[in-house]
């Protein structure tokens, strides 16, 4: 029995989407707002500098939005399996369903979708979120799931991540996700510093900060990957096993981290080997040329210059005046 849009009346709040949630959507909307605002002022930039400005701003915004957005996504690790499994406790009814596991930095999403959706006189379409961040109580969320009467496959997977489980997956994912998130926020701060250095402009130090940004993004990936160092418990449904692998957020963070390395190395190398090309890309040579042109076009009043020269010459004594 449902109210509307497959949301059950005994749920106290809307269930979290597996990959995207409200926070991620807000970050993307802010990014698109800045991008559209910049595209509106692009026609006001003259000549070849228009292309350089477009590349610099769009790449910088892309790095920033990825660093922030992956904090809230739930696909750092993902896994799917199709299995015939029991639907409820104390029931012998079997259903054919797709079971998905989506691991993020702050929690885990477990999805259950029937094939077909309507089976055993019910709509099998679940997506449950269990948070393990330091300000959340995972065991309490799991206990609430038991009270709600969630399907057995969801409770079975969620139990693997509880603190009482012998798998110890909760501690591994919680600590690794915490440090991965912290290093990503440090990368966001260094990205801001790099943009400020480029605007001052101190180009070579901005390149160094891009290298630091890429390094911290790689550190976050290494921190999250430490969960693989410990043996993982098998998640089995009959004869089938649910296997998880790195998801889209992990690979996207890796790609942007490598992009920061490439951009930083390029800026530093051009600073030492081809400074003129680097200044051209950052639209600095034209500004200096205009300054020199303004300095040469200085109006000089010859009357005051000649008068000053006459006053500076020493006066000579005439012997006839003595």
From first to last of its 322 residues, what are the pLDDT tens digits of the chain? 344 444 444 444 445 555 556 778 888 888 888 888 888 888 777 777 788 888 899 999 999 999 999 998 888 999 999 998 888 877 778 899 999 999 999 889 999 998 988 888 888 889 999 988 877 888 888 998 888 888 999 999 999 888 888 887 888 888 899 999 999 999 999 999 999 999 888 899 999 999 999 999 999 999 999 877 777 788 888 888 888 899 999 999 999 999 999 999 999 999 999 988 888 888 776 544 444 444 444 455 565 546 554 545 554 545 454 4
For residue 273, what are the CA distances in angstroms to 56, 112, 265, 283? 20, 57, 12, 18
By C-alpha distance, which of 272, 229, 208, 221 is closest to 249?
221
Please list, in sequence order, all residues whose beta carbon lies within 8 angstroms of the beta carbon of residue 214, skipping any fewer than 6 positions away.
187, 257, 258, 259, 260, 261, 264
Q: Residue 21's CB: how many other CB atoms inside 10 A?
A: 17
Model's pTM, two decimal places?
0.79
Using alpha carbons only, give the angle 178, 232, 70 rounded to the nearest 5 degrees.
35
Q: List the one residue out of 124, 162, 125, 167 whose CA is nearest residue 142.
A: 162
**Residue positions counted in the chain:** 322
Q: Tell me how crowded residue 244 is: count the other CB atoms within 10 A of its CB.
A: 18
Question: b/e for 271-305, b at 16 or more Cβ within 10 A?
Answer: beeeeeebbbbbbeeeeeeeeeeeeeeeeeeeeee
Report the alpha-carbon distance of residue 48 to residue 52 in Å, rounded.
7
The backbone region for 21, taken as left when phi is positive above 0, alpha when psi lies in -120 to 50, beta otherwise, is beta
Please give the Cα distance from 289 to 267 (Å, whole number): 22
Peptide bond before 118: cis, by omega within 30 degrees of 0?
Answer: no
């Amino acid at each position: 029995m449902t109210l509307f849009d497959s949301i059950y009346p005994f749920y106290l709040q809307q269930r979290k989407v597996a990959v995207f949630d409200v926070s991620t959507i807000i970050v993307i909307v802010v990014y698109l707002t800045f991008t559209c605002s910049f595209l509106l002022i692009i026609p006001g930039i003259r000549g070849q500098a228009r292309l350089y400005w477009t590349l610099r701003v769009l790449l910088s915004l892309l790095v920033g939005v990825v660093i922030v957005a992956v904090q809230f996504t739930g696909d750092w690790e993902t896994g799917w399996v199709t299995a015939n499994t029991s639907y409820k406790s104390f029931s012998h009814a079997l259903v054919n369903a797709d079971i998905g596991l989506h691991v993020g930095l702050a929690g885990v999403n477990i999805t259950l979708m029937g094939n077909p959706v309507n089976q055993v006189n019910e709509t099998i379409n679940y997506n449950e979120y269990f948070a393990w961040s330091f300000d959340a109580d995972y065991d309490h969320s799991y206990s609430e799931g038991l009270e709600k009467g969630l399907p057995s496959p969801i409770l079975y997977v969620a139990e693997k991540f509880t603190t009482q489980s012998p798998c110890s997956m909760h501690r591994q994912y919680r600590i690794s996700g915490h440090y991965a998130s912290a290093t990503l926020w440090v990368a966001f701060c260094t990205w801001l510093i790099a943009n400020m250095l480029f605007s001052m402009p101190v180009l070579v130090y901005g390149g160094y900060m891009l290298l630091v940004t890429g390094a911290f993004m790689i550190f976050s990936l290494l921190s999250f990957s430490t969960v693989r160092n410990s043996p993982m418990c098998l998640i089995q449904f009959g004869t089938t096993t649910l296997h998880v692998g790195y998801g889209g957020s992990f690979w996207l963070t890796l790609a942007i981290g490598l992009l920061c390395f490439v951009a930083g190395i390029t800026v530093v190398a051009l600073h030492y080997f081809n400074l003129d090309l680097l200044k051209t890309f950052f639209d600095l040579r034209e500004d200096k040329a205009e300054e020199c042109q303004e300095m040469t076009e200085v109006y000089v009043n010859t009357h005051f210059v000649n008068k000053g020269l006459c006053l500076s010459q020493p006066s000579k004594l005439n012997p006839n005046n003595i």
